[in-house]
Chains A and B, each alone.
Chain A
Amino acid sequence: MNALLEKHADEIQVILAKYPVGKAGKRSAVMPLLYLAQHEYGYITKEAIREVAELCEITDTEVTSIIGFYSLYYDQPTGKYHVQVCTDLPCALRGAEEFLEKLCENLGIRVGETTPDGMVKVESVMCLAGCDKAPMFQVQSTEGLEYHENQTIESALDVVNKLRLG
């Protein structure tokens, strides 16, 4: 019984068809299938690991190692939205560190914490290729990723408050 396959049979076929026929090609589907599972379950559950492993014909351990290596997969429940501010060098030169501190201060949390309603986690991340439009951040959720650039504290609070409404 593979719930992921039953629910998303067509989408899984499209994913598998991208890669060559055979064992090596099936293994290539592990990353897109993990995204699919994360979207479906909110995070990568133990059951999802088993389902993806079965579809790719690899072991649960191999799937788990992929989840651990790449930073965009979550193996436990997490705040619904992640507001991820880039504070790497080019952004930092344009005030991204102060921006992140002030944003958190305004929300009454510290960097890396989640708002009390459990809706929004605010954290710093590595370069997002938006260096000329700093301060900038991405909003990450199971629905996908969205960039917000050339931000002020006011515009960022606006975004966060809208997210908190759900």
Chain B
Amino acid sequence: MTEHILLRHRDIPGLDQIDTYRQNGGFEAWRKVVSKMDPDDVTNEVKASGLRGRGGAGFPTGLKWSFIDWQNWPHYVVANADESEPGTFKDREIMESNPYQFLEGVAICAFAVKANDAYIYLRGEFWQIAHKLDQCITEMESGGYLGDKLYRTNTSLRLHTHLGAGAYICGEESALLESIEGKLGQPRLRPPFPPAVGLYGKPTIVNNVETLTNVPFIISRGADWYKSIGTEKSPGPKVFSLSGCVNRPGNYELPLGTTFRELIFDHGRGIPEGHKIKAIMPAGASSSMIIANDEALATPMDYESVPNVGAQLGSASVIVIDDSVSIPWLLNKTIHFFKHESCGKCTPCREGTYWMMHLTERISQGNATMNEVMLLQDVANQLKGKCLCALGEFSIEAVLTGIERFPADFKTVTAKSNS
């Protein structure tokens, strides 16, 4: 792609300054929706664009907005800026360098669902970014883009930042809402979903930072233009966070449907010398492990194609694993993370991640027998479909696919204790 849509600051230096942003078409979409459009038209345009949620689930954004309950007031919009999945670092770059486009997206979403207040929930570690967004919000208020009677209409909007305090689980939308309400960040039983019962029990739209950053361009250039990027069912640009065993890790904005091979070998400049690619985790630590053969590398990275090679696209946090890495060691790493971050509310996740951590530790240290590998599989299967939220469900993806797809790695580590 020649032009960046989401990482636009890479083409336009100083885009985090309000004047530069304005000089480059900033807030034109916002002015257009407030002064010329009906909220329904905005939602319909986003629906027509085919934009899908970039936080991981890939749910159609416009459809989500259309689920807002019009019988219950007030409405809220919440931007999920809790970015905490190991391997994901895209929202951070967007907020640091292209903050106004993101905030304009939040504003347009609020207009579409008639919310007068929107919250941006940032992980506590993004303290400096929250400070920066606060300054941007102040600039937008002075510029007349936020406040009351915007563009001489009855539209009012206020944006607020809210800092988390170090809990991965708050990236789960219902735990995030609990956290804003001043409670422990633990998931709610769903349904009801937030567009019906959300923040303070009121209808709420929760969208990821990257998702919202697409919106100003969809409004100003139209749904047809947007659909010309990417694939038919997964339209638009996507920021791929590339990390792990690769020569040039980083964020790459590419059309959905770009192949793994292009991302890893063209943009990421391949695997460090002397090593070969072994596995790919396309959705961070929550991901299944794909065997990195020719078929996998030729697979387009979109929501429909990645499942064909046994994983999900998720947030497109592509972790590359080379042949120097032992899969049991890797599983211990990911499970250690999930055990630490399990919120403790539901038993399968709380106890399951604990037992999986101890088992993966023994296996990775070569102190286990094949029976313990089977026990690990058994524990993982017992979590399946029984957890309150995706944290527990996703914690087993790498475990089950790692054991199934890389059996040789488990023979060597258990051989010592078997003999």
A residues apposed to B, CB below 8 Å:
18-20, 24-25, 27-32, 34-35, 56, 58, 65-66, 69-73, 88-90, 92-94, 126-134, 138, 144-147
Contact = CB atoms under 8 A, between A and B. Distances in A.
A145 B128 contact: yes
Given A65-B184, A132-B249, A145-B128, A90 B166 contact: no
Contacts of A19: 160
B319 A31 contact: no
Given A70-B167, A72-B166, A146-B128, 16 more contacts: A18-B160, A25-B200, A27-B182, A28-B182, A29-B182, A89-B87, A89-B285, A90-B244, A92-B333, A127-B168, A127-B285, A127-B337, A129-B91, A131-B244, A145-B124, A145-B125
6 contacts: A27-B181, A31-B165, A70-B165, A88-B337, A93-B325, A131-B243
B337 A126 contact: yes
A35 B126 CA distance: 13
The 9 nearest A-B residue pairs measured at CB: A70-B165, A71-B166, A132-B249, A27-B182, A131-B243, A90-B243, A72-B166, A30-B182, A127-B86
B185 A70 contact: yes
A93 B125 contact: no
A69 B341 contact: no
Chain B interface mostly: mixed
A93 B162 contact: no
A145 B127 contact: yes
Interface residues of B, number: 52
Given A56-B182, A126-B341, A127-B84, A71 B165 contact: yes
A129 B163 contact: no
A12 to B, nearest CB: 15
Given A89-B330, A129-B88, A132-B251, A138 B164 contact: no
Contacts of B250: 132
A4 B182 CA distance: 19
Interface in B210-233: none
